[in-house]
């Protein structure tokens, strides 16, 4: 057998290995059955007005349908993906090392991760991977086994699927437990592959690993934490969504935003714009902290809401516009509406910011006229429409277009000029513009039906 030895570089914070059982206790252990099938399920449980809890459940087939369910600590992110791994861990630990194990699940997460991605993760030293604690633990437990382990995805309508549903039932009951279970995430002896491989890794991965070590020591900025809380409250009040910090950060990177608007939102979440209190501590620059229009302290809320007369929204709604969810009567997500909302909110906020900069830097405090503001906004919105049309038309690599054509049609339909005269698929029509009906008549005073002025 050819064996390649790869040089690995050390990383800080490797997981602990647990000592092996003493030989005498090992000898006393009863030999288990030859083969066992375990059905696993991991789901999230969201009772109304309470925090989401995730739990793992297993049903073992061999010894009279033994079952177990455990709740998952809230520090581990509460998602079905993670819960499924906890269930797989429980399943692997529930049988002896010499027993052939078949793990059956309704989801392919564990199978795909362990068969397709494990090699890459180990090579990259698990750098930048969320939930690596549990993923690593499952991989190590599987490596410590002496008998084979099989993964199977239960197809709908089969007996296996019914058993998985039974495991999900056990798991749901476990999720209601008042205290979550403390999970032992130590690895069996000699299974951890510490560090990351020097060979075959990209510069990007090494850099990511170094960044990870450096940022670990940093405490979150108080102003960022405050902003995140503002967004979280808005998402709950308006869209009835309970979101984590990760959800908020991810929402800024949604493809619905243009990079310029996304950067603006990101900077805002970090309070990184040089406005208001930024200047109050700098000698001879105190004047810059004051709004030139009304001589109040200038902060983002003042610029976006008070100065621009955008009354029906809050700062949290604007910064969290990527979290917007619109559903139809049957609870299905309306992707077009959601996308239009995100585009309009982000572009509007960015336009207000640009106008403010123009006023302060180029016009010496003189505000733009209503007509000028309106024209700039119309131009920005129509520019997005034209860009969407191009991306949905122009095929990349001779195959699929960069944007799904149906999504573009769903996004803009209902807002276009002379829409009745246009064909249903207007993507290839030369003159398509957002109609003047979609814009408010007098800018900065009246609101359209979406509350965007």
Residues in touch with Zn ion (CB under 5 A): 291, 293-294, 296, 307
Residue ranges in 394-429 assigned as alpha helix (H): 405-412
Q: Smallest distance from the beta carbon of 302 to Zn ion, in angstroms?
A: 6
Q: Which is nearer to Zn ion, 36 or 291 (CB)?
A: 291
Which helix H or strand E contains 289, and what residues bound it?
Answer: none
CB nearer to Zn ion: give 245 or 301: 301
Dihedral sign from CA coordinates of 190, 192, 197, 201:
positive
- Min. distance of Cβ 297 from Zn ion in angstroms? 9
The token duo for 120 is 């890459």
Residue 71, beta-bridge partner list: 55
Distance between CA atoms of 261 and 345, rounded to whole angstroms? Answer: 10
Specify the residue, 390 or 444, whose C-beta has the smaller distance to Zn ion: 444
At 325, phi and psi to the nearest 5? -135, 125
User: Which residue, 84 or 298, has its beta carbon nearer to Zn ion?
Assistant: 298
Q: Kindly compute the dihedral angle of the four CA atoms of residues 418, 423, 424, 425, in this order, to the nearest 10 degrees.
A: -110
Smallest separation (angstroms) from Zn ion to the CB of 442: 20
- Residue 336: count of CB within 10 angstroms of its CB: 18
Q: Please state the closest distance from residue 441 (CB atom) to Zn ion, in A.
A: 25
Smallest distance from Zn ion to CB 306, Å: 6
Nearer to Zn ion, 299 or 411 (CB): 299
In the complex, the smallest distance separating the C-beta of residue 440 from Zn ion, rounded to whole angstroms, is: 22
Q: Where are the alpha helices (DSSP H) in 253-296?
A: 259-269, 277-280
H helices of 97-158, where? 109-112, 118-123, 132-144
Q: Kindly give, in sequence order, each residue whose CB lies less than 8 Å from that of residue 223, ignoring residues fewer than 6 positions away.
A: 270, 271
By three-state DSSP, how is residue 380 classified? helix
Q: Which of 415, 440, 448 is nearest to 339 (CA)?
A: 415
* Cα–Cα distance for residue pair 71/55, rounded to 1 Å: 4
In the bound complex, what is the minimum distance in angstroms from residue 352's beta carbon to Zn ion?
12
Contact 273, 280 (CB under 8 A): no
Nearer to Zn ion, 9 or 297 (CB): 297
- Closest approach, Cβ 309 to Zn ion, in A, equals 11
Closest separation between CB of residue 305 and Zn ion, Å?
11
- Pick 59 or 291: Cβ nearer Zn ion: 291
Tell me the C-alpha distance between 293 and 303, whole Å.
Answer: 10
Nearest to 293 by CA among 371, 363, 377: 363
- Beta carbons of 277 and 86 less than 8 angstroms apart: no
Query: Closest-CB residue for Zn ion?
Result: 291
Beta-strand pair 100-105/35-45: parallel
Q: How far is the CB of 421 from Zn ion (least distance, A)?
A: 44
What 3-state DSSP class applies to 416? Answer: strand
Residue ranges in 107-200 assigned as alpha helix (H): 109-112, 118-123, 132-144, 159-175
Least distance between Zn ion and beta carbon 370 (Å): 17
- Phi first, then psi: give them for residue 39, nearest 5 degrees: -95, 130
Taking the least distance from each CB to Zn ion, the nearer of 167 and 291 is 291
Report the relative pairing of strands 53-60 and 35-45 from DSSP bridges: antiparallel
Indicate the residue among 153 and 290 with the shorter CB distance to Zn ion.
290
- To Zn ion, the closest distance from the beta carbon of 267 in angstroms equals 20
Closest CB to Zn ion among 307 and 388? 307
* Residue with smaller CB distance to Zn ion, 236 or 278: 278
Nearer to Zn ion, 258 or 290 (CB): 290
Those residues with Cβ within 8 angstroms of residue 2's Cβ, 6 or more apart along the chain or in another chain: none
């Amino acid at each position: 057998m050819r064996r390649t030895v790869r040089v690995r570089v050390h990383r800080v914070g490797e997981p602990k290995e647990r000592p092996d059982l003493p030989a005498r206790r090992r000898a006393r252990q009863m030999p288990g059955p030859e083969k066992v099938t375990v059905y696993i399920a991991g789901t999230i449980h969201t009772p109304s007005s309470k925090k989401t809890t995730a739990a793992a459940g297993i049903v073992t087939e061999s010894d009279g349908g033994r079952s177990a369910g455990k709740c998952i600590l809230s520090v581990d992110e509460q998602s079905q993906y993670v819960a499924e791994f906890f269930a797989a861990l429980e399943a692997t630990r529930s049988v002896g090392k010499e027993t052939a194990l078949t793990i059956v699940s309704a989801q392919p997460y564990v199978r795909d991760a362990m068969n397709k991605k494990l090699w890459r993760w180990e090579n990259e030293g698990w750098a930048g991977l969320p939930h690596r604690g549990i993923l690593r633990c499952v991989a190590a437990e599987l490596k410590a086994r002496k008998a084979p382990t099989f993964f199977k995805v239960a197809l709908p309508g089969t007996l296996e699927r019914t058993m998985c549903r039974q495991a999900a039932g056990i798991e749901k009951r476990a999720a209601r437990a008042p205290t979550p279970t403390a999970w032992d995430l130590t690895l069996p002896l000699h299974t951890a592959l510490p560090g990351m491989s020097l060979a075959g890794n990209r510069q990007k991965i090494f850099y990511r690993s170094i960044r990870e070590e450096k940022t670990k020591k940093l405490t979150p900025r108080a102003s960022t934490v405050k902003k995140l809380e503002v967004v979280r409250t808005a998402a709950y009040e308006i869209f009835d969504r309970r979101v984590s910090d990760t959800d908020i950060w991810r929402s800024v990177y949604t493809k619905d935003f243009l990079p310029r608007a996304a950067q603006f939102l990101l900077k805002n979440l970090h309070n990184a714009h040089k406005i208001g209190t930024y200047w109050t501590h700098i000698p001879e620059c105190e004047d810059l902290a004051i709004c030139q229009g009304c001589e109040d302290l200038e902060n983002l809320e003042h610029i976006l809401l008070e100065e621009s007369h955008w009354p029906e929204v809050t700062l949290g709604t604007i910064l969290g516009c990527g979290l917007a969810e619109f559903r139809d009567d049957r609870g299905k997500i309306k992707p077009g509406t959601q996308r239009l909302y995100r585009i309009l909110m982000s572009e509007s906020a960015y336009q207000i910011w640009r106008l403010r900069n123009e006023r302060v830097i180029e016009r010496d405090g003189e505000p733009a006229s209503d007509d000028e503001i309106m024209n700039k906004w119309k131009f920005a919105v129509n520019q997005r429409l034209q860009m969407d049309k191009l991306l949905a038309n122009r095929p990349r690599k001779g195959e699929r277009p960069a944007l799904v054509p149906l999504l573009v049609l769903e996004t803009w339909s209902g807002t276009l000029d002379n829409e009745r005269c246009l064909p249903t698929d207007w993507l290839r029509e030369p003159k398509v513009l957002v109609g003047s009906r979609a814009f408010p008549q007098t800018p900065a005073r009246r609101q359209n039906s979406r509350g965007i002025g």
